[in-house]
Amino acid sequence: MKQTNYDEYIEQYIDNVSLYLTATKKDDVLAELKGNLEGAFEMKQEALERELNEHEIEETFKAFGHPFKAASLYSEQQYLIGPANFPFFKKALVYSWIFIFSIHIISSIIFAMADPNVNFRLFGWLFNSLDSIIFVSLVCVVIFYLLEKNSYEIPLFKQFSLKTLAATKNTAIDRQDLITDIISETIALLWWIDVIKFPSKITFDNQAVMFSFGEVWQPLFWPIAFILGASIALHLWLLTCNYWSKLSVFIELILDMIAIAILIYLITASGYISVNIESDKILDFVTNINLGLFYTLIGILLVIIYETYKHLKIAYNVYRY
């Protein structure tokens, strides 16, 4: 075979490309690429009727691209996540970020409130969140890459009917409402489990008066903690959904019913708070506070009944379709 002035360059180029190729069909790809390069050079020489100069040789290689690019073009998959699964990937990322942030915010508040000696360090919190977000994002990328590699398309939204279109319109989740619920429930839970403390001592009639919960609350510690905890978990989960499902609206209604039962029990009871000093003036004052709490509980009950009505309407739409 006649030795040409570009043969050595071709060998060097092929050696470079081989560095970036995986073992599968490596020899086949290299042999083919070599054949194509030789063909390119031969045709150029034939057209010019002379040997190619250095510049023309370089230009020919440049047309094939950098060895890394040339090698990557022969890879089977040129992307991590294809267009079919990309919308799901995007959603998975956003929801996992929301989830991580929520967990970090709640846990940071709990730690900061539980121990006054622990300084709440904003940057520390931010970097912790960032660590978790990077980790979760990587996990998402790996999962979706594996789905793509195995040509698996998420079938979630492939099938829909006119009925489901109507159902989703009537059962969309109001995120603003949910966020308000999550904030109020979190504050209530933290207060209930003594993580957040409000002043329990006032000065009345020149005496230091200490308030504490009345006996009526004692059997309700765990039921109330459960209701609040379950509501927060449910609402955090709902944040990641677009529409109410049969299960989520069912759980919401169960929680509403338990809350109503607890409130009715409390309204029919008395002695919501007790004090450490017994005197007529202070007892009158406590009676007024108990009366105020009684009306507050009625107010809360009315709000929860209204919420239950809203959830029943949603349930009607969810179960109808």
- Applying CB under 8 A, the residues found at the interface with another protein are 1-2, 29, 31-40, 42-43, 63-65, 69-70, 73-74
- Is 10 or 315 the residue whose CB approaches another protein more closely? 10
Using CA atoms, how far apart are residues 15 and 18, in angstroms rounded to an integer?
5
- Is 74 or 272 the residue whose CB approaches another protein more closely? 74
- For residue 72, the minimal CB distance to another protein (Å) is 9
- Is 29 or 57 the residue whose CB approaches another protein more closely? 29
Measured CA to CA in angstroms, residue 114 lies from 159, 231, 274 at distances of 49, 22, 25
Half-sphere exposure of 298 (CA within 13 A, CB side): 8
Listed in sequence order, the residues at least 6 apart from 259 whose beta carbon sits closer than 8 Å to its beta carbon are 227, 304
Q: Which helix (H) or strand (E) segment is 28 a member of?
A: helix 26-48
CA diameter of the chain: 119
- For residue 145, the minimal CB distance to another protein (Å) is 20
Measured CA to CA in angstroms, residue 149 lies from 83, 142, 152 at distances of 13, 10, 8
- Is 31 or 80 the residue whose CB approaches another protein more closely? 31
Listed in sequence order, the residues at least 6 apart from 212 whose beta carbon sits closer than 8 Å to its beta carbon are 200, 273, 274, 275, 276
- For residue 230, the minimal CB distance to another protein (Å) is 52
- Is 37 or 227 the residue whose CB approaches another protein more closely? 37
One-letter amino acid identity for 265?
Answer: Y
Q: Which of 195, 187, 207 is nearest to 286 (CA)?
A: 207
- Is 32 or 177 the residue whose CB approaches another protein more closely? 32
- For residue 73, the minimal CB distance to another protein (Å) is 5
Using CA atoms, how far apart are residues 283 and 204, in angstroms rounded to an integer?
11
Nearest-10 Cα torsion for 19, 22, 23, 26:
-70
- For residue 1, the minimal CB distance to another protein (Å) is 4
Query: Which tokens in the block code for residue 50?
Result: 């002379």
- Is 8 or 131 the residue whose CB approaches another protein more closely? 8
- For residue 257, the minimal CB distance to another protein (Å) is 58
- For residue 158, the minimal CB distance to another protein (Å) is 24
